[in-house]
Amino acid sequence: MSIRTEGTHLFQSTGNEFSSLGARLVRFGQALQDPSTTVSELVRLAQACGITFKLRVVAESEGRDDE
């Protein structure tokens, strides 16, 4: 366990907290790469990592004039 001070606050952190976050981030990354993952699953996994997940969908069409 490591202890560090920042300002007047004392923070304690354990390797378990970081390894747990790391595992959640890995799971989120795997889900992002899996085409069968639903948006609701991605949102849930992102929230577990403290991430606000926003998704924007744009229809693609051939012969667009604005490109």
* The pLDDT value given to residue 64: 60
User: Taking all residues of the chain, what is their mean pLDDT, rounded to a whole number?
Assistant: 81
Q: How confident is the model at residue 55 (pLDDT cuts 50, 70, 90)?
A: confident
Q: Is the pLDDT of residue 25 over 90?
A: yes
Q: Is residue 36 part of a domain?
A: yes
In-domain check, residue 64 = no
Contact 5, 11 (CB under 8 A): yes
For residue 66, tell me if it sits in a domain: no
Residue 26 lies in a domain: yes
Predicted confidence band of residue 17 (pLDDT cuts 50, 70, 90): confident
Amino acid sitting at position 64 = R
Query: Is 57 domain-assigned?
Result: no
Residue 56 lies in a domain: no
- Count of domains for the chain: 1
Any idea what the Cα angle at residue 32 is, between residues 31 and 38, rounded to 5°? 70
pLDDT of res. 3: 47
44 within a domain of the structure (yes/no): yes
pTM score, whole prediction: 0.63
Query: DSSP states of the chain as a string?
Result: -EEEEETTEEEEE-HHHHHHHHHHHHHHHHHHH-TT--HHHHHHHHHHTT-----------TT-TT-
pLDDT of residue 47: 96
Q: What value does the CA radius of gyration of the chain take, rounded to a whole number of Å? A: 19
